Amino acid sequence: MTNMSENEVGYMIHINRDLCTSCGLCEAFCPVNVFEMNDGPQAVRPEDCWGCETCAGQCPVHAIRIEASSAAKAAFADREKAAPLDPEIKVRYKEWSRVLRDVLGLRWHPVAISLVKAGAPLPDVPIPEERLRFCQSLMAARRGRSLMMPANRHACPDGTSILGLTPMPEKLASGELYILFHKLDSVEAAKRMVHERPCLEPRTVDATVVAPLSEAACEAEVVAIVAQPEQIMWLSMATSYYTGHRHDFHASGYNAQCVETTLLPMTTGEINISFGCYGCRASSDVGDDCMMMGIPVELMPQVIKGLEELGKKAIPQSRDKIYLPPF
């Protein structure tokens, strides 16, 4: 079965009837109620499929395969285009990226994150052919890709609603899906987790934009770093180099990239760390030894200046283990 309408990505839902045991997990776990059980699972609303592959991931006999078909008419084809990024800002971003990579020894690019507000002009950034999760796009950007994703290119209903592109599906708002995943003990606990996280108003954002900081095509709102804990430690110290301020980080293991790396820094004006979450670690290539930090772009000059100072002595001495007795 296929979903395909103007400005949307189409998906074919393949169910191998020889393997299917009619366990009903696909119906239970689908966040947007694509399936109904009727002499076995039927994709009765294929046009609602997000391509998140939760059904395929939960199927105990691997009887479900989701296949993306070619995209229809390009999203925002007639939308006003934004002016190119100011050359001075581009130079600044390149220098920030250089310092971050050189001083910390980052393996991957720092990532510029922006949200295109509803009705705002669009930056000149490619739109992918099929849906991706926001965390997947961020991981792609750290490896050099630039991506703009309207709602119909987002594969995670949870992150998409958190970031203000769509309303939140009822299964997520009620906490039901978190119980099915055995992520929390009770519906009450799930509801509390949902209530305590920030969430933008639905339809206030038209697209997310991620790009390597050194190649950003529009002004960043948050700079995301994917790195090892030791490197995140130095970033934390760089932020407080001139103030001595201790940070109050908010991390939970839920909604890592959308909430902890992006929305919290954006809405609080403070840096925040994330250990990752079930979704981002299950669906992206982020290493088990990595964590994340989101830095509001307003704090970047302070971070870069502090990091350069730490890089003169503190970082190399620490990495040289100068206090370790010789053996």
pLDDT digit string (tens) for the chain, length 327 residues: 334 333 456 678 899 999 999 999 999 989 888 999 988 888 888 888 877 888 988 899 999 988 876 543 456 777 899 999 999 999 999 999 999 999 999 999 999 999 999 999 999 999 988 789 999 999 999 999 999 999 888 988 889 999 999 998 888 888 888 888 888 889 888 888 888 889 999 999 999 999 999 999 999 999 999 999 999 999 999 999 999 999 999 998 889 999 999 999 999 999 999 999 988 998 899 999 999 999 999 999 999 999 999 999 999 999 999 888 876
- The string over 251-280, giving b where at least 16 C-beta atoms fall within 10 Å of a residue's C-beta and e elsewhere, is beebbbbbbbbbbbbbeeebbbbbbbbebb
**Tokens 């900081």, residue located:** 213
Report d(CA 58, CA 60) in Å as an integer: 6
For the chain, the maximum distance between any two Cα atoms, rounded to a whole number of angstroms, is 71
Report d(CA 32, CA 210) in Å as an integer: 26
Show the DSSP H helices in the chain as ranges. 25-29, 54-58, 87-104, 134-142, 157-162, 170-173, 176-180, 187-196, 229-239, 264-268, 278-283, 300-312, 314-319
3-class DSSP assignment, residue 244: coil
**Tokens 């998409």, residue located:** 160
Tell me, what amino acid is at 6? E
CB 141 within 8 A of CB 292: no
**Tokens 């390597």, residue located:** 212
Q: Report the pLDDT value the prediction gives residue 72, as an integer from 0 to 100.
A: 39
